[in-house]
Amino acid sequence: MKILLLEDDPEIGEWVRDGLTHSGHVIDWLKDGREALVAATSTAYDLLILDRMTPGLDGLSVLRAIRAAKSSVPVLLLTALGDIDDRVEGLHAGADDYLPKPFAFSELDARVAALGRRNADLSSADETTLVAGDIQLDLLKQRCLRQGKPIDLNPKEFRLLEAFIRSNGRVLTRTMLLEKVWDMHFDPTTSVVETHVSRLRAKIEKPFGDAVIRTRRGAGYVFEPKI
Partner 1 sequence: MSLNRKFDLIAVLRMSALRQAVTMTLAFVLIVLVAGGIAISAFERETQRRIEDSLQSRFAEVRADIERLGFDPARYPDAKNERIEFRPGPSDIVAGIHNSLDINWWFWTRDSTSSAEGSDPEGLEDWIYLAGPAKDGQLIVATELRRQDDFLQIMLETMGLVGLGAALSALFLGLYLGTRTQRRINAISRGLTDFGAGDLSARVGGPARHDDLGDLSRQLDTTLDQLDALIRQSRDFASNIAHDLKTPLSRLRIRLDRALMASEEESDSATAIEAAIAQTEQINAIFDAFLRIAKLEARTARASFSPVDLGQLADEIFETYRYVVEASGRTLTLEKSNPEIVSGDRVLLSQAMANLLENAIRHTPNGTQIWLLAHGRSIGVADAGQGIPTEEFEHVTQPLYRLERSRTTEGVGLGLSLVKTIANLHGAKLLFSECPQLPINAGLCVQIEMPQPVE
Catalog residues that contact partner 1 under the rule CB under 8 A. 81-85, 102, 104, 154-156, 182-192, 195-196, 198-199, 218
Minimum Å distance from CB 130 to partner 1?
A: 22
- Which residues partner with 78 through β-bridges? 51, 99
Question: Least distance from C-beta 165 to partner 1, angstroms?
Answer: 21
Give the C-alpha separation, 178 to 118, whole Å. 19
Q: What angle do CA 46, 24, 76 make, to 5 degrees?
A: 40
| Of 194 and 210, CB closest to partner 1 | 194
In the complex, the smallest distance separating the C-beta of residue 23 from partner 1, rounded to whole angstroms, is 19
Grouping H, G, I as helix, E, B as strand and the rest as coil, residue 148 is: coil
Within 13 Å of residue 133, how many CA atoms lie on the same side as its CB? 17
In angstroms, what is the minimal distance from the CB of 191 to partner 1?
Answer: 6
Taking the C-alpha atoms of residue 79 and residue 50, their distance in angstroms, rounded to an integer, is 9
CB nearer partner 1, residue 84 or residue 227 = 84
- Kindly state the smallest distance separating residue 208's Cβ from partner 1, in Å: 21
Looking at the Cβ atoms of 21 and 198, the one nearer to partner 1 is: 198
Minimum Å gap between C-beta 158 and partner 1 is 11
**Closer residue to partner 1 in complex, CB, 84/140:** 84
Minimum CB distance to partner 1 smaller for 85 or for 121: 85
- Taking the C-alpha atoms of residue 139 and residue 129, their distance in angstroms, rounded to an integer, is 6
CB of 146 to partner 1, least distance (A): 21
Cα–Cα distance measured from residue 92 to residue 4, given in angstroms and rounded to the nearest whole number = 21
| Spatial distance between the Cα atoms of 211 and 226, rounded to a whole number of angstroms | 9
Q: Which residue, 169, 177, 71, 66, is CA-closest to 113?
A: 169
- b/e map of 88-109 (b: 16 or more CB within 10 Å)? eebeebbbbbbbbeebebbbbb
Nearer residue to partner 1 within complex by CB, 124 or 189: 189
Check if the beta carbon of residue 100 is closer than 8 Å to that of residue 84: no
The nearer residue to partner 1, 126 or 183, going by C-beta atoms, is 183
